[in-house]
Structure 1
Amino acid sequence: MSDSPRASVIYYCPFCAEEDLRPVEEPQGGWRCNACARVFTVQLATVDTTRIPGRLREEAELQEGRS
């Protein structure tokens, strides 16, 4: 993952679901929705790798190989 605040583009406003979004300088990494006038940021906290289907299959195969 990148540390850049603009690494991902936001496509929809989380408040009104409109698509008319523009990046703003403050707050850093913020977006302004032109439809509802809200300014917001979105931050990814973590990725729960225990729920990725491919990983679950790999873990099961590793367990079978150890048995």
Structure 2
Amino acid sequence: MSERAAPFYCPYCGDEDLRPSEEGHGAWECAACNRAFRLKFLGLLARGVQRADDGGDAA
């Protein structure tokens, strides 16, 4: 497995001053807005899955 992915900016304030948190894997802290958040990989989407709004006739 490769290195863990790191976020480029805080999802709350947009600042780039992020540090890994001591809370564990996927946890990050933003020094700019003093918030902590966790990132989690949910999985891969299956190929060939189409959304309801893709294609079809618009009547």
Q: How high is the TM-score relative to the length of structure 2?
A: 0.65
Runs of 4+ aligned structure 1 residues displaced above 2 Å come to none
Q: Does 1:48 align with 2:18?
A: no
CA RMSD of the aligned region, Å? Answer: 2.0
Q: How high is the TM-score relative to the length of structure 1?
A: 0.58
**Equivalent runs, 1:1-67 vs 2, <5 Å:** 2=1, 7-26=4-23, 28-29=24-25, 30-50=27-47
Unmatched tracts of structure 2, length 5 or more: 49-59
Higher share of residues assigned helix? 1
Higher share of residues assigned strand? 2
Q: Identity of aligned pairs, percent?
A: 38
The alpha-carbon deviation at position 39 of structure 1 amounts to 0.7
